[in-house]
């Protein structure tokens, strides 16, 4: 079965600095990969997803992620963060064999002024 | 498009009581998913419906849990004889298509506290 590991539980960063949130997955077959964001007291919202094709995926709010099959990673990046990016970020994976999506434990991004 | 709604938003109950949660998906969305999220963890898949048919259940869904989507619109999740370990946020999501690659839209969740 597929699984996801988010390597950092908390990432503090100053406003306008770049950020990378790390995600590694394991699966025996080809995968689909997702990043979701959860703002305080709100539901999860899709940031971006990788299905196939170009390994660099651009999402909403200036975020992007790169699928690296050899390193089984799907790290999320933003070149310059804002205070409003403070939230919990979840990486998720699904594959052709399963109808469920497996989420990582989440990374809490805190952007400081 | 009003989004996915869940009711209630919070539920406090005593151990042994039954509780029922409701999820209203986005109109015309075919698939409806239930997840459970405990503190410090990501959502865990519980079950999903395609229209009114329940197609898959996680092993996390013990016999005390039952879910329905009788007319292919709203869904209910019932927990019988609640235990303290059932305390969690219960999330509902819906998607318009039949593929897992279709974007799932999440509701705000129902937070259950079992005393």
> Which tens digits make up the pLDDT trace of B29-70?
999 999 999 988 999 999 999 999 988 888 778 899 999 999
Sheet bearing B5-7, strands edge to edge: B5-7, B19-24, B75-79, B65-68
Interface residues of B toward A, Cβ cutoff 8 Å, are 3-4, 40-45, 48, 55-56, 58, 91, 93, 100-101, 103-109
pLDDT tops 60 at residue B23: yes
**pLDDT score at A3:** 87
Q: How far is B109 from chain A (nearest CA, A)?
A: 7
**pLDDT bracket for residue B1 (50, 70, 90):** low
CB A94 within 8 A of CB B100: yes
* Cα distance between residue A23 and residue B99, in whole Å: 23
Let me know how long chain B is: 115
pLDDT (mean) for A92-102: 79
- CA terminus-to-terminus distance, chain B: 36
The pair phi, psi for residue A37, each rounded to 5°, is -120, 140
Give the nearest partner residue to A32 out of B48, B100, B106, using CB atoms: B100
Spacing of C-alpha A8 from chain mean position: 11
A90 contacts B100? CB cut-off 8 A: no
pLDDT (mean) for A65-69: 94
Nearest CA in chain B to A94: B100
Give the nearest partner residue to B42 out of A98, A99, A105, using CB atoms: A105
Give the nearest partner residue to A99 out of B3, B40, B48, using CB atoms: B48
Which residues are bridge partners to A67 per DSSP?
A: A74
What residues contact residue A72 under an 8 Å CB cut-off, 6+ apart?
A24, A25, A26, A27
What does R_g of chain B's alpha carbons equal in angstroms?
13
**pLDDT score at A40:** 84
Contacts of B105 in chain A (CB under 8 A): 43, 46
pLDDT tops 70 at residue B16: yes
B93 contacts A92? CB cut-off 8 A: no
CB A93 within 8 A of CB A27: yes
**Span A68-96, pLDDT tens digits:** 999 999 999 999 999 999 999 999 998 77
Give the nearest partner residue to B56 out of A43, A44, A100, using CB atoms: A100
Residue of B33, B39, B42, B101 best to disrupt the A interface, most CBs of A under 10 A = B42
Nearest CA in chain A to B39: A105
* DSSP secondary structure of A15-54: TT--EEE-EEEE-SS-EEEEEEEE-TTS--EEEEEE-SS-
């Amino acid at each position: 079965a597929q699984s996801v590991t988010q390597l950092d539980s908390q990432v503090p960063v100053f406003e306008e600095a770049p950020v990378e949130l790390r995600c590694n997955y394991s699966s025996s077959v080809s995968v689909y990969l997702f990043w979701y964001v959860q703002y305080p007291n709100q539901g999860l919202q899709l940031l971006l997803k990788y299905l196939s094709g170009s390994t660099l995926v651009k999402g909403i709010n200036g975020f992007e992620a790169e699928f690296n099959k050899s390193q089984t990673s799907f790290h999320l990046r933003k070149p310059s963060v804002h205070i409003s990016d403070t939230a919990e970020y979840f990486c998720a994976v699904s594959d052709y064999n399963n109808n469920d999506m497996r989420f990582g434990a989440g990374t809490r991004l805190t952007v400081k002024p | 498009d009003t989004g996915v709604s869940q009711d209630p938003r919070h539920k406090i109950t005593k151990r042994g009581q039954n509780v029922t949660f409701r999820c209203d998906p986005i109109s015309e969305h075919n698939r409806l998913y239930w997840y459970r999220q405990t503190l410090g963890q990501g959502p865990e898949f519980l079950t999903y419906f395609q229209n009114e048919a329940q197609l898959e259940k996680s092993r996390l869904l013990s016999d005390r849990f039952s879910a329905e989507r009788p007319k292919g619109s709203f869904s209910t999740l019932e927990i019988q004889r609640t235990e303290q370990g059932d305390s969690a946020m219960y999330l509902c999501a819906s998607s318009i298509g039949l593929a897992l690659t279709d974007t799932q839209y999440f509701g705000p969740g129902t937070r259950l506290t079992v005393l």
